[in-house]
Structure 1
Amino acid sequence: MQGRFLRGFTLVELLVVMAILMLLLTVAAPKYFNGIERAKESALKQTLVVVRDAIDKFHVDNARYPDSLEELAERKYIRAIPIDPITESSETWQLVAPEEEMPGELYDLHSGAEGQASDGSLYAEW
């Protein structure tokens, strides 16, 4: 049984492969997580555009602003109350009331997320 050799990887070979994988991960991981944040910000911007458009259409159709996001959903101006992609909740929206002489309770809305976007602006100001 002298001609028989065990086949497999040496410890050095495994360490080299692991070092290469770690190097690749340190380059790829930040780009991946930044991509996720950019996607959430884009989704928030699109959600705000759609809901604000629905508020404007409601105002044109009814000569008043809606009383809540629920009313927009019930009257089919939006399919459902949207989820804020940053906070991942539909309960964190900051509602802006119209001026005093205008009927209704919902003139505009902003994200309830704290913090800054990648461009340095505050989410609550969008």
Structure 2
Amino acid sequence: MAFPIANGEVGAMISSLKTGVQPDAPGNKRRTGFTLIEMLVVLAIVALLLTIALPRYFGSLDRSKDVALQENLQVLRVTLDKYYADKGNYPDTLEALVEQKYLRAVPTDPVTESTTTWVLISSTDPDVQGIVDVKSGAIGQTKDGRQYESF
């Protein structure tokens, strides 16, 4: 006994038996894309994750600026001491450190994002001339309450 079903239709019949829906029956539309409810649920989850992550991200940016400021000040102070040990006097400007190849470039103050806002501290000893220390020219305070000028 022969069945009047072609080979291509066997797979369609098997899938319709599993799902209960005939794939090519008139009136059946295939579902494509996402529904509005599914999209709203996904957007709500993304919004929830952003409300948790963004405050931490911006807080870490502020802390990283404080750490970078401390590191740049440490580099400048050590370089000033090396210059003094080599030359016997302190430089008149920070650019002199670059000219004499002690630094490749004047470090940027990460809070003010400028190389020109450093506060240069001159020596109080009349026998010693030049810049003996550097402080940040930023206004305000760090996350832990210290003033930028006190670094």
- 1:4 counterpart SS class: coil
- 1:85 counterpart SS class: coil
Q: In the alignment, is residue 45 of structure 1 matched against residue 70 of structure 2?
A: yes
Structure showing greater radius of gyration is: 2
Q: In the alignment, is residue 25 of structure 1 matched against residue 50 of structure 2?
A: yes
Aligned-residue offset at 1:24: 0.4
Once the two structures are superposed, what CA deviation does each residue of 1:54-102 show, in whole Å capped at 9, x if it has no partner?
1111112222111010111111121211111111110111111111413
1:122 is matched by which residue type in structure 2? Q
TM normalised by structure 2 equals: 0.78
For 1:41 and 1:67, how far apart are their aligned partners in 2? 27
For 1:80 and 1:8, how far apart are their aligned partners in 2? 55
Greater relative CO, 1 or 2 (CA 8 Å, sep 6+): 1
The number of equivalent residue pairs is 126
Once the two structures are superposed, what CA deviation does each residue of 1:10-67 show, in whole Å capped at 9, x if it has no partner?
2111111111100000111111111111111111111111110011111122221110
For 2:100 and 2:72, how far apart are their aligned partners in 1? 18
TM normalised by structure 1 equals: 0.93
For 2:95 and 2:113, how far apart are their aligned partners in 1? 18
> Which segment is superposed worse, 96-105 or 18-27?
96-105
Aligned-residue offset at 1:105: 2.4
1:37 is matched by which residue type in structure 2? D
Percentage identity across paired residues of the two chains: 45
1:74 is matched by which residue type in structure 2? E
After superposition, residues 13-92 of structure 1 pair within 5 angstroms as 13-92=38-117
1:97–1:108: 8 Å Cα contact kept in structure 2? Answer: yes
1:64–1:102: 8 Å Cα contact kept in structure 2? Answer: no
2:112 is matched by which residue type in structure 1? T
